[in-house]
Structure 1
Amino acid sequence: MLDRLPSPTRSLASLAREERSFTFTHFTCEHAWIVGNIIRNALRTADISAIIHISLVSDQTLFHAPSLPGMMPDDELQVARKKATVSRWGHSTWWMGCRFDSNGGSERGLVETYGISKTERTKYSLEGGGYPVFVKGVEGVVAAIVISGHMDGAQAHQVLVKALEEYRELRNDYKSSPMRATTVK
């Protein structure tokens, strides 16, 4: 499955448009549950061990699960680093990696541009697999969706994009029952 995904663009403008194209009308634990399970099912189908984590930038966890056995404590640390990057800069970790060079980004560029110390640098990751959640009418990032595990950053980014596309299709195809007053957004 992952080998059939196209490589993500490295164009910052295209990536920023892509990120904003997934703006939600609202975002709750129900949305996180659906998106998280789409990702988990895709990774299980591809036989890839990874942690899927979705949380609000306020640190409230909405979804956290491994796709398969085989995770290591370092994967949990990488989840925290990717979430911190998304929360601080409001872009995917792939966008940040592309901004600061290729294949995970340049640590030196990040340190020099933002004036952060080398020790503070360890709080962040420029490897793909962290994605922002935007909500219409709310300024800034509301939540972060993160994948960390046995895949490279480009693959992780594409899995996130494909999961959000699938979620959007599900949402658009949803038909409300007569008993339900509102539709899933």
Structure 2
Amino acid sequence: MADSTLYPLTNPPTDLSAISQIDSSILFPSFTVSDAWDLGCLLRSRLLTFPGSTVISITLANSTPLFYTAVRSGITPDNTAWVNRKSATVLRFGCSTWYMHNKFQGDEKAFAEKYCLLDKAKEFAIHGGGFPVRVKGVEGVVAVIVVSGLKQQQDHQVIVQTCRDFLDGVGEGDEKRKED
């Protein structure tokens, strides 16, 4: 079993303004198929340090898949359902699912009532692990990153920390990444 201390995660904030600031501060200079591949591979490497099976999904806002993989054996159709529900929440509300979880303190009934979701409530998830991809100069969410399989705060935080690390490596564009 891998040792998750190789890639320790900090606890994400639960304060809505702090979460919102993080959501909006992770801004990509561009987001290409190659970026999605590189980011997905980096996420996979980090998730291998955690026990258990997880799924990574990166899709464009129009649902075009860019990256999808299982990390370790043992995933089930439930993982795919969580991916779809987390993606739907990010796309509809334009924020991370961790934000929505904390906004409603995990109360799915209050969430469903607030937005008059009725029987469509099952199409959304307010559990951490869905994150918006924003690109500088582009309005709205261009893609969604989802991790499913860890505790929800870990699903969220592995995305945040990996995106930050990825963007730190992008600093000088494609040439810098090719040199690494």
Question: TM-score, normalized by length of structure 1?
Answer: 0.88
What are the ranges of 5 or more consecutive residues in structure 1 without an aligned counterpart? 178-182
% identity of equivalent residues:
36
Residue 21 of structure 1 deviates from its aligned partner by: 1.2
Rounded Cα–Cα distance in structure 2 between residues aligned with 1:121 and 1:68:
30
**Structure 2 Cα separation of the partners of residues 52 and 152 of structure 1:** 14
For residue 176 of structure 1, what is the amino acid of its counterpart? E
**How has the CA–CA distance of structure 1 residues 25 and 175 changed in structure 2, closer, same or farther, with 3 Å as cutoff?**
closer
CA distance in 2, matches of 1:92, 1:175: 27
Cα deviation, 1:84-107, whole Å, max 9, x if unaligned, reads 000000011100000001xxx111
Q: Does 1:113 align with 2:114?
A: yes
The alpha carbon displacement at 1:171 in A equals 1.1
In 2, distance between residues paired with 1:6 and 1:18? 14
The aligned counterpart of 1:180 is none
List 4+ stretches of structure 1 deviating above 6 A: none
Task: Judge which range, 3-12 or 156-165, deviates more.
Answer: 3-12
Offset at residue 174 of structure 1 (A): 6.1
Q: Which amino acid aligns with 1:126?
A: I
The two structures, once aligned, show a CA RMSD in angstroms of 2.0
Deviation sequence 1:26-81 (CA, Å, 0-9, x none): 11111111111111001112233111000011010000011111100110011000
Q: Report the secondary structure of 1:134's partner residue.
A: strand
Instruction: Classify 1:70/1:95 alpha carbon distance in 2 versus 1 (closer, same or farther; 3 Å).
Output: same
- Alpha-carbon distance in 2 for matches of 1:65, 1:78: 14
**TM-score normalized by structure 2?**
0.90
How far the C-alpha of 1:7 sits from its partner, in A, is 1.3
Q: Could you tell me how far apart the structure 2 residues matched to 1:88 and 1:51 are?
A: 21
Superposition deviation, residue 108 in structure 1: 1.7
Q: CA 1:175/1:79 → structure 2, altered by over 3 Å: closer, same or farther?
A: closer
* SS at 2:171 equivalent: helix
Whether 1:162 aligns to 2:161 is yes
CA contact (8 A) 2:27 2:134 kept: yes
**Aligned residue number for residue 153 of structure 1:** 152
- What's the counterpart of residue 124 of structure 2? 124
Cα distance in structure 2, aligned partners of 1:175 and 1:132: 22
Number of residue pairs aligned between Structure 1 and Structure 2: 174
**After superposition, where does 1:18-97 map in structure 2 within 5 Å?**
18-97=22-101
- Provide structure 2 residue ranges, at least 5 long, that are not aligned to the other structure: none
